[in-house]
Amino acid sequence: MAVFAVYPLLQLAWMSVHDVTQATLNQGGWDFVAWDNFLRGFTAGESPAAIVRTLVVVCIVTVAGMLLGLAVAIALRTKGWWSAALLALMVFVWALPPVVNGSVWKFLLAESGLVNTLLGFIGISPVPFLYDPQWALISVASVAAFAVIPFNALVFRAALMAIPPEIFEAAAVDGATRFQEIRHIMLPAVRGTTLVLFVLTVVYGFRSFDFIYVMTFGGPGTATATLPFLGYLQAFNRYDYGLGSATSFLAVVGVLVLAGVYARTIGKEERS
Amino acid sequence: MNTSAGPVAILTKLFFTLLYGVPMVWIVLTSFKRSSDVFDPSAAFVFEPTVQAYTRNLNSNLFDALQQSVSIAVGTTALVLLIAVPAAYALARVAHWSVTLGLVALIVLQMMPQTALVIPLFRHFGQWGLLDSLTGVIIADTALLAPFATLLLRPFFRAVPMSLEESGSLDGAGMFRTFWSIVLPLARNGVLTVGSITFLLAWGEFLYAVSFMLSPGGYPLSALLAQQVSAFGIDWPGLMALAVLTSIPILIVFVSSYRLLRDGLTVGAVK
């Protein structure tokens, strides 16, 4: 496992400080260029722009994924066939390949797709969801959030189900409203889960590329090329493997930082 | 307990039912439309159904892709379990500082962006002659999913009481025998859960397949779909039919493992 998982990362670091192109990929003896690949990424303005886009995606995915995931978990506490069916539906959508979800949303968000048709009924002119640089970034991030909400809802649901029913009974006796139940019973109960899930969702948003690949392929221009996707584009579309490795290496460093935060969060949770 | 649905809960449920239900209905409806009806609002729900999109797709390419998908998903699942089961058991039972180190390493590996790993792997597979081969994709998918599978499986082994194993060894069973006939049956649900998720993820994986398979002839369904959806001038009914066909195996796995997924997914993911 170490050979196929750790060694590629070392290789990536090695490639990021060398000049590697299509012609030289399969030969040894690459020219050592030190920080040149990283500098090229920054001076051309591609890396900083990609970092900003990555942060936008992470924010949208995390805020929507956490809040809506919790909202679903709370709404699904009610018994009955509807809650059970909705949960099953959402887990099924989560289990679908990202290419399928991405294709469907590319279709729904098309210029004359379902979403724009519905907006037309209430008198809103078509929105260029995938053709406008800003809208495109919001769109791919929203679909990534759409795909992670079911998972987050499941995790929150498990935490809510661990609350002893007596607590709710006691609250009902005291005449607590639903809002008070959420505020004073459910939110404190999911606190530990929230911390860990928060980091997981940030990581998911950070490394997410499937929907970008399927819906926009980084476009229009490079408007939806987040850091991990930009590295892929540079390597496999422009055949500049050195530059792509440097960009991807930045993404790896970002993940290492997040992993550190995650390990600390888990450590704290297990101690408390 | 207050389990009756209030108006807010009903509205929330309605919103999410539409948000997750409509896209599913829409894929299936579109896959039975003619290209000319796709963006025609008057033909949104009332249209003359046709299976043209399916018959256009049903050719030898599709069966080749299906075969590739099955080989990749089954091969990856088997290989991942072969690695993750002993690894998770060891990480659950051994008490040593190196276990913490191993867990941290797995967490980091599980978080690595796949787009970063694909570049060095592409070069190595070129050197080792693994490009354009099923073996290459299976190995890459296994390396991608084994850390996650191990982490997810570990709590299931931890839940098996140590005393059962001790009584096993008192009765003279060796370590392997104890594991095989006492621990593994008790952790069955965990193995099934992890197996199902690995299958689902391997079935949907497309980046390695697109990158390591040098021609579309070797693509699995997921990669075929990814290739067609990023092409210009998309044939939407054809694409949606392909999406439906790609999702049918997922539906089968989902129906047979839903309870496991619902209850087992949350065990290892957050701890």
Average pLDDT over residues A212-223: 90
Q: What is the pLDDT of residue B5?
A: 57
The amino acid that residue B130 corresponds to is: L
Contacts of residue B182, defined as CB under 8 A and 6 or more positions apart, other chains included, come to: B160, B164, B165, B168, B173
The whole-number average pLDDT for the span A105-133 is: 90
Per-residue pLDDT tens over the stretch A237-262: 888 888 888 899 999 999 899 888 88
Interchain CB distance below 8 Å, A217 and B230: yes
**Token couple for A134:** 């800003």
Judged by CB atoms within 8 Å, which residues 171-230 of A form the interface with B? 171-172, 178, 181, 193, 196-197, 200, 203, 206-207, 209-210, 213-214, 217, 228-229
B29, B111, B130, B150: best to mutate for the A interface, most A CBs within 10 A: B111
Could you list the beta-strand ranges (E) of A191-237.
Answer: none
Looking at this protein, which amino acid is placed at residue A29? G
Q: Is B45 helix (H, G, I), strand (E, B) or coil?
A: coil
Query: For residue A119, what are the contacts with CB-CB under 8 A and spacing of at least 6?
Result: A125, A126, A127
Half-sphere exposure of A206 (CA within 13 A, CB side): 22
Which pLDDT score, from 0 to 100, does residue B53 have?
Answer: 82
Nearest by CB to B258, which of A88, A209, A262? A88
Phi and psi at residue A18, to the nearest 5°: -130, 160
Name the pLDDT band for A263 (thresholds 50, 70, 90): confident
- The pLDDT score that the predictor gives to residue A93 is 95
Judge: B12–A75 Cβ closer than 8 Å, yes or no: yes
Which pLDDT score is estimated for A20?
79
Contact status, residue A35 vs residue A16, Cβ threshold 8 Å: no
Specify whether the CB–CB gap between A115 and B46 falls below 8 A: no
What are the residue boundaries of the structural domains of chain A, listed by start?
61-271
Provide the 10 A C-beta neighbour count for residue A267.
12
Domain boundaries, chain B: 57-269
Residues in chain A: 272
ipTM computed for the complex: 0.88
What one-character DSSP code corresponds to residue B38?
A: T
For domain A61-271, give the CATH number. Answer: 1.10.3720.10
* Axis crossing angle, helix B97-111 with helix A241-271, rounded to the nearest 10: 130
Q: Is B143 in contact with A169 (Cβ distance < 8 A)?
A: no
Lookup result for tokens 């998918």: B141
Residue B1: per-residue pLDDT: 41
Helix, strand, coil % (nearest 5) of chain B?
Answer: 80, 0, 20
pLDDT tens-digit map of B77-129? 999 999 999 999 998 888 788 888 888 888 888 888 898 889 888 888 888 88
pLDDT greater than 50 at residue B249: yes
The answer, for A99 touching chain B at a CB cutoff of 8 Å, is: yes
Does 3.90.1150.10 match the CATH number of domain B57-269? Answer: no
Within 8 A of A150 by CB-CB distance, chain B residues are 20
In chain A, the percentage of residues whose pLDDT exceeds 90 is 41
Maximum C-alpha span of chain A: 77
